[in-house]
């Protein structure tokens, strides 16, 4: 059966939405309920407004459709059901009877309502409690009012359903062509029309890219080689340049050659999808290209264009890039490419035939000043989306903090992401709503869940009752909002909100200092000295560096602090490093510890920064660089630094001076937020004796400098912030250390409801037997393990010591005595 139909653009879009929904829920066919859903997606259309007035919402309607989803195989191009085909026939006849110039969504909806036995009418009647007669009456009134305007001027771009332009003629189609409409356009599902998005106001204003957009226009207007390629790092705004061109086209601010052009963003991944059979990819791409050529007004934008070259094809099959080359060479299609600098060099430069078809445009990251203007330009859209107010301090903080702490990404992307997430978090944790409003909103959410369950079980009567309750509660909420005026209350996003997000991303404490943290920083020496006994000089120098950085007085790009701890084994060098990590992160294990005895060979440098390209382990990265990339705010402990190879020490020069290092993959790793601690026991006793005779701090420094020159290069020594010589432990210090070790044991026993008491004689025994000038506190640690922990462990296993037991340790005749009370 053949029939003529002159349909509006809204009908075309409606059928597209209906087809997409049918595919989404594996419906197999486009039934009448999907046609209604398609109408609900046309925001602002007369039919949609009428349905909205009757309380029919697209979200609730889609929930009903989702309940009917099956696990059947996906149908790529669902066809119209017989009832849906009759809907179009009746709509056409209705348009003729009413002398309507075109078939519009109102005619389609009225035609659906005429079939009382269809699913769509059943849902409207039973679930949404719509008065069908009233809706029909209002539809007829809307059609007549609209027709009076349309008769004066025909639809400017009237289009037959998926057919040719029907401005001056009707489109001849049959029922089969209507049903197969979704698959007639090769560009369907392959991209987005950026000019259409610009018309709808879905593109934010583009600021600071005027030069790049002008260059883009110049190349597109060339006679030959008119295909620009935007080259820049990820996040600098390559796609934004193309969106800026789309905005200029809509505004008419382009030359005549571009005024009627359409920017089509081509999804290369969508092109590859579903092309497992030989020749499918080639055919799919050729169909799309032919459609572009026939249209004659499309400029194709291919983001990540290097994937055309990168995609490996089967043996004997033509690659996507090879298919595209002849069309580019003949100038039949205009293409805008975008890729990163590395990918351009790796793929496009190697393919000379493809490279010479494109004119490169370098897109550099914007400056801080330009980024600030960009953020101000898009601020309104983010405020509207999140329902907050964003002040200038937040914008400035996003720029400054992202520049300092997020060094692996580029402006403006990283600053925009900070503002977006800070706004989202501020809205999420906004407690400005009155408590009674919050209670009602929670009740609405519960009822909506119950209503969805009722629909799923086909209990439509309960669904109607719940729907009425929801409307009643929403009306009450609206009254309360008007009373409280909360509709005008907007959470202000400031610099503290942005700082909190940076802290979440990087684990770096950049937020405003709290009273608790302030006291902690002021008492940092005492906190560290509770763990590291008898080394006040080293503790003081580390504490000062941490305080200086935390309050923001560190201006250079060097690490927070670099220290060299000298002294005999077992005096607290490593313990101080762990204590610093615990003071900063509340976890002593949050440090990067490298034993430099493992880096005594010249080729061991690859273990630190990663293997160069072509070598085993290239993809894995280096032990040091990967650790800092994952945790940029860390304590780096380089144990026994004197054992490292000189090439490894040369690597440290760059870290200590510039606060950065380039790994084996060419990535820049930032060390600005690290504390570098190097330990060594070279000449510890000789150096300690020499320092005893020093009369001043300056003389002590000279002695240390001269002594270290025999082991370390002067340029390395000169880059270290502080060199501390740890003193050998005396018996008084060892007594304090013993109490700390026993306190740790007591905490473990307390967790098992066991108490521990140690007499003075037992403590003196531990100090006298565990004291060793040469080995420091380690012999004491071993002594406690062997003579106390081992004995207590055996007693627990033999049930001699049970819960609520008290262990008393005494000494007699050079032995420890244990009693269990």
Q: What is the pLDDT of residues 35-46, one digit of tens each?
A: 999 999 998 888
Minimum mean pLDDT among 328-337, 444-453, 526-535: which range?
A: 444-453
Mean local confidence (pLDDT), 513-535: 81
Topology match between the domains 2-183 and 371-493: no
pLDDT value, residue 412: 93
pLDDT value, residue 592: 92
**Residue 232: pLDDT band with limits 50, 70, 90:** very high
Alpha-carbon gap, residue 364 to 410, rounded angstroms: 9
Alpha-carbon gap, residue 415 to 339, rounded angstroms: 21
Q: Do the bridges between strand 171-174 and strand 29-30 make them parallel or antiparallel, or are there none, so unpaired?
A: unpaired
More confident residue, 142 or 514: 142
Instruction: Pull the structure tokens for residue 642.
Output: 């004197």
pLDDT value, residue 691: 62
pLDDT value, residue 337: 95
DSSP code at position 524:
H
**Residue 21: pLDDT band with limits 50, 70, 90:** confident
Alpha-carbon gap, residue 40 to 105, rounded angstroms: 10
Mean local confidence (pLDDT), 685-697: 62
Residue 693 has pLDDT above 90, yes or no: no
Helices (H), 569-609: 573-585, 605-609
Residue 436 has pLDDT above 60, yes or no: yes
- pTM, two decimal places: 0.62
More confident residue, 291 or 517: 291
What stretch of H or E contains 174? Answer: strand 171-174
CATH of 371-493, one of 3.60.40.10, 3.90.1150.10, 1.10.8.60, 3.10.20.30: 1.10.8.60
More confident residue, 313 or 399: 399
pLDDT value, residue 187: 60
Mean local confidence (pLDDT), 770-779: 82
Residue 158 has pLDDT above 60, yes or no: no
Q: What is the largest CA-CA distance in the chain?
A: 119
**CATH assignment of 2-183?**
1.10.1780.10
Alpha-carbon gap, residue 536 to 533, rounded angstroms: 8
Architecture of the domain whose range is 731-820:
Orthogonal Bundle (1.10)
Alpha-carbon gap, residue 404 to 413, rounded angstroms: 15
Q: How many residues does the chain have?
A: 821
Residue 312 has pLDDT above 60, yes or no: no
**Residue 170: pLDDT band with limits 50, 70, 90:** very low
Alpha-carbon gap, residue 389 to 542, rounded angstroms: 41
pLDDT value, residue 696: 58
Mean local confidence (pLDDT), 25-31: 84
Residue 315 has pLDDT above 60, yes or no: no
Instruction: Pull the structure tokens for residue 755.
Output: 């108490």
Residue 276 has pLDDT above 80, yes or no: no
**Residue 664: pLDDT band with limits 50, 70, 90:** confident
Mean local confidence (pLDDT), 8-27: 87
CB atoms within 10 A of CB 34: 28
Mean local confidence (pLDDT), 105-109: 91
pLDDT value, residue 521: 84
Q: Which of 200-209, 268-277, 692-701 has the highest mean pLDDT?
A: 200-209
pLDDT value, residue 173: 33
pLDDT value, residue 213: 95
pLDDT value, residue 178: 35
pLDDT value, residue 371: 94
**CATH assignment of 191-364?**
3.40.50.300
Residue 316 has pLDDT above 60, yes or no: no
Minimum mean pLDDT among 68-72, 110-114, 651-655: which range?
A: 68-72
Residue 251 has pLDDT above 50, yes or no: yes
pLDDT value, residue 727: 80
**CATH assignment of 513-725?**
3.40.50.300
**Residue 703: pLDDT band with limits 50, 70, 90:** confident
pLDDT value, residue 156: 38
pLDDT value, residue 785: 92
CB burial string 65-100: b at 16+ within 10 A, e below: beeeeeeeeeeeebbbbebbbbbbebbbebbeeeeb
What are the residues whose beta carbons fall under 8 Å from the beta carbon of 19, sequence distance 6 or more?
Answer: 30, 34, 77, 78, 181, 182
Q: For residue 153, what are the CA distances in angstroms to 46, 100, 108, 158, 171?
A: 18, 12, 21, 11, 19
Identify the CA nearest to 209 among candidates 64, 370, 328.
370
**Residue 700: pLDDT band with limits 50, 70, 90:** low
Q: For residue 453, what are the CA distances in angstroms to 64, 67, 533?
A: 10, 10, 66
DSSP letters along 116-183, please?
A: TTSHHHHHHHHTS---HHHHHHHHHHHHHHHHHHHTTS--TT-B-TTSSB-SSS-EEEEHHHHHTGGG
Mean pLDDT value across the chain = 82
Residue 502 has pLDDT above 80, yes or no: yes
Helices (H), 694-755: 697-708, 714-719, 731-750
Residue-range domain boundaries for the chain: 2-183, 191-364, 371-493, 513-725, 731-820
Residue 654 backbone class (left: φ over 0; alpha: ψ -120 to 50; beta: rest): alpha
**How does pLDDT run across 470-483, given as a tens digit for each residue?**
888 888 877 776 66
Q: Residue 650 in contact with residue 690, Cβ under 8 Å? A: no
Residue 155 has pLDDT above 50, yes or no: no
Percent of the chain exceeding pLDDT 90 equals: 26
Residue 152 has pLDDT above 60, yes or no: no
pLDDT value, residue 177: 37
Q: For residue 185, what are the CA distances in angstroms to 19, 163, 614?
A: 13, 10, 45
pLDDT value, residue 164: 37
Residue 115 has pLDDT above 90, yes or no: no
Minimum mean pLDDT among 397-411, 507-521, 595-609: which range?
A: 507-521
Residue 165 has pLDDT above 70, yes or no: no
């Amino acid at each position: 059966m053949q029939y003529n139909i002159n349909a509006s653009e809204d009908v075309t879009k409606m059928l597209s939405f209906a087809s997409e929904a049918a595919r989404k829920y594996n419906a197999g066919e486009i039934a009448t309920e999907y046609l209604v859903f398609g109408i609900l997606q046309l925001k602002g259309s007369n039919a949609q407004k009428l349905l909205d007035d009757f309380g029919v919402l697209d979200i609730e309607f889609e929930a009903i459709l989702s309940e009917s989803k099956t696990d059947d195989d996906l149908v790529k191009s669902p066809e119209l059901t017989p009832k849906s085909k009759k809907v179009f026939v009746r709509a056409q006849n209705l348009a003729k009877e009413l002398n309507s110039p075109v078939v519009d969504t109102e005619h389609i909806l009225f035609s659906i309502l005429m079939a009382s036995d269809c699913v769509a009418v059943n849902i409207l009647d039973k679930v949404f409690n719509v008065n069908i007669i009233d809706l029909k009456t209002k539809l007829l009134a809307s059609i007549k009012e609209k027709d009076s305007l349309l008769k004066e001027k025909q639809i400017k771009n009237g289009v037959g359903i998926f057919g040719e332009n029907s401005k001056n003629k009707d489109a001849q189609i049959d029922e089969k062509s209507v049903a197969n409409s979704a698959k007639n356009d090769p560009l369907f599902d392959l991209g987005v029309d950026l000019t259409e998005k610009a018309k709808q106001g879905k593109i934010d204003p583009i600021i600071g890219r005027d030069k790049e957009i002008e260059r883009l226009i110049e190349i597109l207007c060339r006679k030959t080689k008119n295909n620009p390629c935007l080259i820049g790092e990820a996040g600098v705004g390559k796609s934004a340049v193309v969106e800026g061109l789309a905005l200029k086209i809509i505004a008419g601010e382009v030359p005549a050659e571009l005024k009627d052009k359409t920017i089509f963003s081509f999804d290369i991944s969508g092109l590859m999808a579903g092309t497992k059979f030989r020749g499918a990819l080639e055919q799919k791409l050729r169909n799309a290209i032919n459609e572009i050529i026939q249209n004659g007004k499309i400029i194709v934008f291919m983001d990540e264009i290097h994937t055309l070259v990168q995609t490996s094809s089967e043996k004997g099959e033509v690659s996507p890039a090879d298919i595209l080359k002849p069309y580019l060479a003949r100038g039949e299609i205009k293409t805008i490419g975008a890729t990163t600098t590395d990918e351009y060099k790796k793929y496009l430069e190697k393919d000379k035939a493809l490279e010479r078809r494109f004119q490169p445009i370098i897109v550099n990251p914007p400056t801080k000043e330009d980024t600030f203007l960009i953020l101000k330009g898009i601020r309104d859209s983010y405020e509207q989306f999140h329902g907050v107010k964003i002040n200038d301090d937040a914008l400035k903080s996003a720029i400054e903090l992202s520049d300092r702490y997020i060094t692996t990404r580029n402006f403006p992307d990283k600053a925009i992401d900070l503002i977006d997430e800070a706004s989202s978090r501020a809205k999420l944790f906004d407690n400005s709503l009155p408590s009674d409003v919050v209670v009602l909103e929670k009740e609405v959410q519960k009822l909506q869940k119950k209503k969805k369950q009722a629909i799923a079980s086909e209990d439509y009567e309960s669904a109607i009752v719940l729907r009425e309750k929801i409307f009643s509660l929403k009306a009450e909420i609206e009254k309360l909002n008007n009373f409280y005026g909360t509709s005008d209350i907007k959470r202000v996003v400031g610099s503290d909100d942005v700082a909190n997000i940076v802290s979440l991303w990087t684990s770096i404490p950049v937020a405003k200092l709290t009273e608790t943290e302030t006291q902690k920083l002021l008492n940092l020496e005492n906190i560290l000295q509770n763990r590291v006994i008898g080394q006040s000089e080293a503790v003081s120098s580390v504490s000062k560096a941490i305080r200086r950085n935390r309050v923001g007085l560190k201006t250079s790009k060097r690490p927070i602090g670099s220290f060299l701890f000298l002294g005999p084994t077992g005096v607290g060098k490593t313990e101080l490093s762990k204590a610093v990590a615990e003071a900063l992160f509340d976890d002593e294990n949050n440090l990067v510890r490298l034993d430099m005895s493992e880096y005594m060979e010249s080729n061991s440098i690859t273990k630190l920064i990663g293997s160069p390209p072509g070598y085993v382990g290239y993809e894995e990265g280096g032990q040091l660089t990967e650790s800092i990339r994952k945790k940029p705010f860390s304590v780096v402990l380089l144990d026994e630094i004197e054992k490292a190879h000189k090439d490894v020490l040369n690597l440290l020069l760059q870290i200590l001076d510039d606060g950065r290092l380039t790994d084996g993959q060419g990535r820049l790793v930032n060390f600005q937020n690290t504390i570098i601690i190097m330990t060594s026991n070279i000449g510890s006793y000789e150096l300690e004796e020499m320092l005893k005779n020093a009369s001043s701090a300056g003389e002590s420094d000279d002695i240390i400098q001269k002594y270290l020159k025999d082991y370390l290069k002067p340029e390395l020594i000169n880059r270290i912030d502080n060199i501390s010589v740890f003193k050998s432990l005396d018996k008084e210090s060892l007594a304090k250390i013993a109490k700390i070790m026993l306190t740790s044991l007591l905490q473990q026993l307390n967790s098992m409801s066991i108490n521990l008491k140690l007499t003075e004689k037992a403590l003196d025994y531990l100090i006298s037997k565990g004291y060793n000038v040469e080995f420091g506190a380690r012999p004491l640690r071993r002594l406690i393990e062997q003579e106390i922990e081992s004995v207590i462990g055996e007693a627990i296993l033999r049930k001699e010591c049970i819960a609520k037991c008290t262990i008393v340790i005494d000494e007699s005749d050079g032995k420890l005595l244990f009693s269990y009370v």
